[in-house]
Amino acid sequence: MTFRPILVVIALLSLPLLNLSAYEAEDFFLLQEEPLIRIGLLTNAGSVAITTADTSLVAVSPGENSRFLASNRVTVSARSYRPPEIENYRIEFQNLPNQGDATALANDIREATAETAIVSIDTATNLWKVWVGRIQETTIDADNLKAKLAGKGFDDAVVVTEKRTVTTPKARALSQQLQTAGKSEVRSLTQKTVLSNPNVTGTIDPNLREVIVSGASESAKYSSLKSVAFGSVNERANPVKLNGKSYRGKIEVFVNSRGSLTVVNVVPLEDYLLGVVPAELGLPQLEAQKAQAVAARTYAIANVGNYGNKGFDMVPTVWSQVYKGVSIETAMGSQAVRETRGMIATYQGKPITAYYTSTCGGRTENGENIFGETLPYLRGVECSLEGRKHFESFLIRTTRQSARLREEGNLDLAHFMSRLAVNGFYLSTPQFTDDWFEDVPSEGEMSNWLNQLATRFGKTFPNVSKDTAKPTELARILVTFLYPQGFADTMLSDSDVNYHLSFDDAAEIPKQSRAEIAVLIRDGYFAILPDLTLKPGKPFTRAKLLRLIRQIYEKKKWMPPLQTGVANATADGKLMVKSGKLQRELTVRPDAFLFREFGSALHAVREATLLGGETIAFQTDAIGTVMYLEIRPIDTPTTAERMSPWVYWNKSASASDVQSRLSRHVRGIGTLYDVNVKRVGYSRRPVELEIIGSNGTKILKGGKIRSALRLPEQLFVMNKQYSGNRVTSYTFTGRGWGHGVGMCQYGAYGLAKQGVKYDQIIKHYYTDVDLTRAY
């Protein structure tokens, strides 16, 4: 027997059954109407409280009219079946001393009233009595007969009450149902019966139990051998409650094979999804929740009858889908359900088995490697868009060209010159190159750069010529910035000068410049070349001059500090900066200087990705627009599910703990010696473990690996600690949470944040599926 027929016979549950024949279609899938789903909320309840905020509960059983209970609270329990008792009444004349008197009285009654009169002896008293007329069904009928006899002169009649149990058609029907129930655990009647059914015969099962309904009103006090479904008068406004928790649809209660109660929420599929979508994926992205709605709807339709022998389709936990009823409903989740109404994922015209997982760890796995069954739409995929497309929505761009450098030392100079440029220094090139750094600065550049220094020192602007870049002329100007007038010549003796100018071509320095250059070398502003020369007649290159300016800025601590922070994911090219629990949104200038760290060095780039979590440093202009930005990348995953708290995890266990865990799934290991990954799947998940013990080598495959090792996910690597040649402990480093097959929920959220629509999310995670409106 299947439990499905109850959906037809319960009058209040008027929506039709699933058209299961549609599963055989090859080209399309279509249901006549929205189906009902049966969720097993409780499977071993002693008693439950069913309530409503409405004026009253309404109850109904198969083949019966709705029962208005006139109470908004009932307690439902189960007890051994008590056959109903009925009362009958008969008229007797009692305590007659002998048979002759009794017979004479009987004859008189027959003659006077035309009623039957039967003479018998009361064995308890050994006196005789006369039973007059037929059995009377009511006291009124009995009193009428007594009055009739009195009117004929027979005044001593007594009304005798008899009680007896009766066998009902329902008890016979349920007994017959249980004889053919097979593996079904349902022990309440699920078919229509009538008061007199000639087709229902046979003995009564002695172990029958019945549902007991107890409420404040008389109409809310009754028992039933049938399942009983409870609802509110206005279910939409006032959903029915089970033990204080609200559910849409009906709460159905029936007796199970343990003699306790099974409680089922019978609910239209779309209403069911209202309590599933936010429970399974509450992350605030509508397209992700729409994808979840499609996956959950598909899973529900594909799993109708999955727990059929227990009287329902699914459970409200991760063993089916997490379902929390009305309390979990949200505006976004309801919108997601509403905007995808009836939409499911199909493959070759059939609903797919729409597995989904919390956090896939960057890649999903082929279904057969976890669950054993090869399904063409459950193929492992990357949890990201293809190639550069994955980062497109997170890019910050600038019109400035990337640096083209071969000399490593020029990397720092490109960074420093960019900092100077946003603080008033003239930059003469659209692109940093080695040639530009090794060339001599123009007079215009020299004038601007030295004027910037003069401003900082509070000095007058110097006169600049084509010789200003030469060491002697540059030294003259810098000494006027750095020291009081006459400082070098006064404070340095000839021996001091000679001491600091003890390099190969010092003799070529003109006498009037020697003290100035000596003091600049002494104080770390000037530096000689690697070949121990200064080449006083050769102009400084831009690189050498920038290093000199950097020395001054570092010693004086003049470089304006950068604002720092942690980035959130870029949105529409805007820089999102975390500020406590708040977020600042900053516009980045099109010509901003943009640097991204690779290794330990900052490189000038034309674009950079900000996924969120990157450390940033930046400078803004007078109106708050970012004109300089440094980005130091994250070291965490960049895939779509990166927001999950389970992107990385570590679990350690001793060898004895691992042996204990594995022994629950693999028999006969003996003493555990070692565990090795023998085969990995598409996603690099171990899908076959080699377990070496004193009793030989055992193999553990598929999703059992995760369960046996008690790990959050099956995507892991092992690090073993040894004592001699014996493993003493295992450390499992992994990614993700869940079984790793199908749609990644955090991945769906990440893709939705990138602007990917729900249909594309579904098609990304389920290979070659179609989206079909099922009803």
* pLDDT tens, residue by residue, 633-680: 988 888 888 889 999 999 999 999 999 999 999 999 999 999 999 999
Q: Is the pLDDT of residue 24 over 50?
A: no
DSSP string, 435-504: HHHHSPPPHHHHHHHHHHHHHHHT-PPPP--TTTTSHHHHHHHHHHHHS-TTHHHHH--HHHHHHHT-ST
Chain segment 563-576, per-residue pLDDT in tens: 999 998 887 888 99
Task: Tell me the two tokens of residue 225.
Answer: 């051998």
Paired tokens of 166: 């009766």
Q: Which of 218, 154, 160, 229 is CA-nearest to residue 190?
A: 229
Using alpha carbons, select from 671, 706, 664, 434 the residue that is nearest to residue 543.
434
How large is the average pLDDT for residues 236-249? 96
CA distance 703 to 724: 32
Q: Is the pLDDT of residue 557 over 80?
A: yes
3-state secondary structure of 382: strand
- Half-sphere exposure at residue 517, Cβ-oriented, CA atoms within 13 angstroms: 28
- Write down the residue that tokens 């339709």 correspond to: 301
pLDDT at site 28? 66
Q: What percent of the chain has pLDDT over 70?
A: 95
Per residue in 418-447, pLDDT (tens digit) is: 999 999 999 999 999 999 999 999 999 999
Structure tokens at 172: 């016979």
Residues 599-625: tens digit of each pLDDT: 999 999 999 999 888 999 999 999 999
At residue 390, the pLDDT reads 76
| Residue range(s) occupied by CATH 3.30.70.1070 in the chain | 85-165
Q: How many angstroms from the chain centroid is the CA of residue 289?
A: 10
Question: What burial class does residue 75 get, using C-beta atoms within 10 Å of its C-beta: 0-12 exposed, 13-18 middle, 19+ buried?
Answer: middle
Distance between the two ends of the chain, CA-based, in angstroms?
Answer: 27
Q: Give the CA distances from residue 623 to residues 325, 583, 588, 628, in Å, rounded to whole numbers and listed in that order.
A: 51, 18, 11, 14
pLDDT in tens, 64-79: 999 999 999 999 999 9
> Is pLDDT above 90 for 462?
yes
CATH topology (fold) of 85-165? Alpha-Beta Plaits (3.30.70)
Q: How confident is the model at residue 190 (pLDDT cuts 50, 70, 90)?
A: confident
- What is the bridge-based pairing of β-strands 356-357 and 743-744? parallel
pLDDT, greater one: 413 or 201: 413
Q: Which two tokens stand for residue 729?
A: 């402990």
- Nearest CA to 133 out of 147, 116, 110 is that of 116
